[in-house]
């Protein structure tokens, strides 16, 4: 049986890269720590529920729990939980650099080439750290470590440890259960092909992985059953899949009270309960099947045609993996499944394939981006190692430093030109205003206020108003209807005291908020109406 093995020591160049990454990440922390997104409101609110001991409220079939569990112990600190998440993400990013280095070691790449490409990878990870407040970076980094574990051949050799891996990856992001299950099937086939006479033992170990997995996660599955009334691994898959046909997100444009718990800010914290969502069976009818095929086709086209740096890198990654496999193919036909590059190609492709049934966002492809640059390092190894053949990466060397700096400058100029480092405007320019306004409300008469947006639309002001509600420790009732009479009635019935209105929208005199105190554009493009005390 194989023993788990890891690199013995960290080389000097990796220490310098980690030091540089951490230094720049800390500098970026101060202006970027306020950056928020809608999913973050749910993850942070759920973490507060765990921290306050409101476990029933915290259990959630849509949002995977591991990120909230990590943050929960910090909820009693006076330090803003959002800022703690940013610090956590910085540390996760440094682990991601180490994971990439470990994968580069497997591919037997020269140390000088590793130094160059790890510096580029560190730059990319730094972008991911501050992109969104979600478990996507944690998931990508854990998947990198699992890829190392898988390539080393431990998957069926260590079934209990594999079950732990599967459990952790499932709890950080439920999609990973299906993704990694496919990877484990590859290991089963690899074992059967390499040792045909020992296939029974391989199948036993495969089944043992899932016996151990379900034992380990059974408390969480029971918690989901207790709250929702039926057994399931997750509710997010059905919600998102059904949303392609039925627009399950439509409820965000309606007037919906937050789910009934102390820390919930909006109904989006538990869309499974709040939305009454529908799913569809792709094989339930011919029309459903054609609809699913159309969704897959459109997602494929979005990868091939969309002018996005992320998707271009993914396409280049696929080509590079095919080239690398062709260049290194030396394995007998019966054991071709053991090729590292073929396995990485499968790993890479399977992650994308699962999202084709739903929709694809760039953050879902972060693991693919990082694997792509690892393979780029392999393909560029001969050229870079020849250029740096007289350098020793274990010692300080000006030629290596010059090469690293020059390549990163060129790379950064390209990324800047391609808008890779430009997040959505409200992340970059307006998050501080939203934070400050929310804290002003929290410190004054409007703490724990009930808020809503008028009229019902999906423009940015809706998101900005939700972020203010979170920082003000308030409740957000989503969107008031455009009809003034109905809006007035809902404001009165639900005791709404703060209403957000796009600054371009005129408020008629018949609207109850027309007599309220008006703050002119305290956040981007949005006036805020406050009910007088």
Q: Tens digit of pLDDT for each residue in 191-213?
A: 998 888 889 999 999 999 999 99
* Domain membership flag for residue 1: no
Whether 218 shows a pLDDT value over 60: the answer reads yes
Question: Are 397 and 256 within one domain?
Answer: yes
Q: How confident is the model at residue 6 (pLDDT cuts 50, 70, 90)?
A: low
**Cβ 434 vs Cβ 523: under 8 Å:** yes
pLDDT of residue 276: 78
Using a pLDDT cut of 70, give the percent of the chain over it.
92
CA–CA distance from 325 to each of 322, 341, 437 (Å)? Answer: 5, 5, 55
Q: Which two tokens stand for residue 283?
A: 């094989």
pTM greater than 0.85 (yes/no): yes
The Cα–Cα gap between 299 and 301 comes to 5
CATH number at residue 522: 3.40.120
Question: Are 373 and 436 within one domain?
Answer: no
Question: Are 370 and 467 within one domain?
Answer: no
Residue 524 belongs to what domain range? Answer: 429-530
Question: Are 407 and 436 within one domain?
Answer: no
Model pLDDT for residues 334-343, shown as the tens digit of each residue? 466 778 999 9
Q: How confident is the model at residue 151 (pLDDT cuts 50, 70, 90)?
A: very high
Question: Are 80 and 154 within one domain?
Answer: yes
Into how many domains does the chain fold? Answer: 2
**Segment 84-107 mean pLDDT:** 96
* Domain membership flag for residue 3: no
pLDDT of residue 142: 98
Higher pLDDT, 417 or 453: 453
Question: Are 61 and 111 within one domain?
Answer: yes
Q: Which of residues 382, 417, 452 is at a domain's end?
A: 417
Question: Are 88 and 116 within one domain?
Answer: yes
The Cα–Cα gap between 170 and 224 comes to 14
Q: How confident is the model at residue 97 (pLDDT cuts 50, 70, 90)?
A: very high
pLDDT of residue 416: 60
Question: Per-residue b/e over 440-456, b at no fewer than 16 CB within 10 Å?
Answer: bbbeeebeebbbbbbeb
* Domain membership flag for residue 206: yes
**Cβ 97 vs Cβ 125: under 8 Å:** yes
Question: Are 458 and 402 within one domain?
Answer: no
Whether 526 shows a pLDDT value over 60: the answer reads yes
Q: How confident is the model at residue 402 (pLDDT cuts 50, 70, 90)?
A: confident
* Domain membership flag for residue 6: no
* Domain membership flag for residue 7: no
Question: Are 370 and 469 within one domain?
Answer: no
Question: Are 97 and 227 within one domain?
Answer: yes
| Average confidence score pLDDT of the chain | 89
DSSP state, 4?
P
Residue 91 exposure: Cα atoms within 13 Å on the Cβ side: 7
**Cβ 331 vs Cβ 339: under 8 Å:** yes
* Domain membership flag for residue 108: yes
* Domain membership flag for residue 31: yes
**Segment 324-340 mean pLDDT:** 71
Question: Are 221 and 81 within one domain?
Answer: yes
Question: Are 433 and 398 within one domain?
Answer: no
Q: Which of residues 417, 450, 479 is at a domain's end?
A: 417
Q: Which of residues 368, 384, 417 is at a domain's end?
A: 417
- Alpha-carbon dihedral of residues 11, 16, 21, 24, nearest 10 degrees? 170
* Domain membership flag for residue 2: no
């Amino acid at each position: 049986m194989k023993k788990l093995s890891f690199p013995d020591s960290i080389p000097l160049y990796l220490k310098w890269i980690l030091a540089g990454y951490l230094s720049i990440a800390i500098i970026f922390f101060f202006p970027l720590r306020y950056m928020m997104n809608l999913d973050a409101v749910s993850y942070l609110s759920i973490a507060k529920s765990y921290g306050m001991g409101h476990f029933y409220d915290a259990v959630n079939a849509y949002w995977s729990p591991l990120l909230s569990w990590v943050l929960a112990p910090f909820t009693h600190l006076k330090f803003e939980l959002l800022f703690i998440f940013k610090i956590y993400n910085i540390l996760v990013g440094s682990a991601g650099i180490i994971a990439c280095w470990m994968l580069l070691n497997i591919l037997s790449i020269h140390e000088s080439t590793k130094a160059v490409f790890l510096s580029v990878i560190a730059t990319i990870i730094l972008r991911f750290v501050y992109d969104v407040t979600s478990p996507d970076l944690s998931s990508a980094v854990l998947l990198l470590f699992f890829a190392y574990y898988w390539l080393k051949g431990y998957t069926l050799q260590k079934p209990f440890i594999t079950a732990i891996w599967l459990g952790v990856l499932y709890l950080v992001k439920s999609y990973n259960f299906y993704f990694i299950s496919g990877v484990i099937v590859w290991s089963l086939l690899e074992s059967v092909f390499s040792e045909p006479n020992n296939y029974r033992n391989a199948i036993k170990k495969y089944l043992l992985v899932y016996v151990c997995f379900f034992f380990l996660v059974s408390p969480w599955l029971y918690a989901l059953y207790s709250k929702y009334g039926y057994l399931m691994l997750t509710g997010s898959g059905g919600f998102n899949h059904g949303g392609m046909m039925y627009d399950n997100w439509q409820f965000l444009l309606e007037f919906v009270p937050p789910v009934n718990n102390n820390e919930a800010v909006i109904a989006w914290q538990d869309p499974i309960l709040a939305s009454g969502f529908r799913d569809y069976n792709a094989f339930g009818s011919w029309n459903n099947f054609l609809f699913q095929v159309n969704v897959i086709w459109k997602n494929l086209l979005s990868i091939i045609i969309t002018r996005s740096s992320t998707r271009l890198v993914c396409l280049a990654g696929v080509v590079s993996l095919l080239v690398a496999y062709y260049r290194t193919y030396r394995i007998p036909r019966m054991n071709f499944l053991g090729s590292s590059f073929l396995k990485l190609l499968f790993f890479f492709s399977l992650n994308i394939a699962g999202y084709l049934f739903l929709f694809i966002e760039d953050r879902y492809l972060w693991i693919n981006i990082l694997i792509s640059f690892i393979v780029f390092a392999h393909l560029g190894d001969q050229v870079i190692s020849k250029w740096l053949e007289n350098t020793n990466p274990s010692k300080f060397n000006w030629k290596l430093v010059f090469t690293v700096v020059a390549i990163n400058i060129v790379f950064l100029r390209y990324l800047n030109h391609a808008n890779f480092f430009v997040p959505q405007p409200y992340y970059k320019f307006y998050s501080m205003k939203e934070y400050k306004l929310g804290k002003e409300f929290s410190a004054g008469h409007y703490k724990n206020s009930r808020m809503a947006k008028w009229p019902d639309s999906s423009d940015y002001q809706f998101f900005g108003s939700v972020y203010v509600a979170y920082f003000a420790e308030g409740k957000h009732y989503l969107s008031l209807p455009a009809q003034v009479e109905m809006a007035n009635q809902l404001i009165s019935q639900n005791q709404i005291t703060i209403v957000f209105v796009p600054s371009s929208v005129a408020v008629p005199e018949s609207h109850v908020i027309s007599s309220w105190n008006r703050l002119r554009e305290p956040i981007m493009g949005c006036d805020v109406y406050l009910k007088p005390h």
